[in-house]
Amino acid sequence: MAFFRPRVSREAEVRYHADQEVGKGYHDLLEKAREAERALREKQAAEASTEELREAGLALDRALTDALRAAEAVQRATFGVKSYDDRIRRRKGKATPKGAMWTAEVNRLRTLREAHRLTGIVRVPRASVAAR
């Protein structure tokens, strides 16, 4: 008696390989985020203008977002190609040591980015309508 084992969809394979490619740049993107944070801290220490602090804060936000996207791609690729089509495979993937490590890394980066968005980006007052 032969058992039918469904193959992975072509779309899942394409997404898996795309995630592997995106994930290759994770360490470089994380280093860019560290550099952006270092630049922001230096500007804060030098008491730079509000506009400069805002630009540095937005640059750090973009760098954290890019690093987070790469980490999510590595996480999905770590779960395996079958996890793109099957939620149970995703759950099983999270239970492996590498899957748990990448899940923790994604959560750490997401928390860091959200905390930065709440407190790290300087708000610049809008120009008043009466001043026009």
Region 3-26: what's the mean pLDDT? 88
pLDDT band at 120 (very low <50, low <70, confident <90, very high): confident
Tell me the pTM.
0.86
Q: Which residues in 1-132 belong to E strands, given as ranges?
A: none
pLDDT at position 27 is: 96
More confident residue, 125 or 95: 95
State how far the Cα of 74 lies from the Cα of 102, in Å rounded to an integer: 7
Q: At what angle do helices 97-119 and 50-79 cross, to 10 degrees?
A: 160
pLDDT band at 19 (very low <50, low <70, confident <90, very high): very high
The secondary structure of residue 86, as a DSSP letter, is -
Query: Has residue 127 got a pLDDT over 90?
Result: no
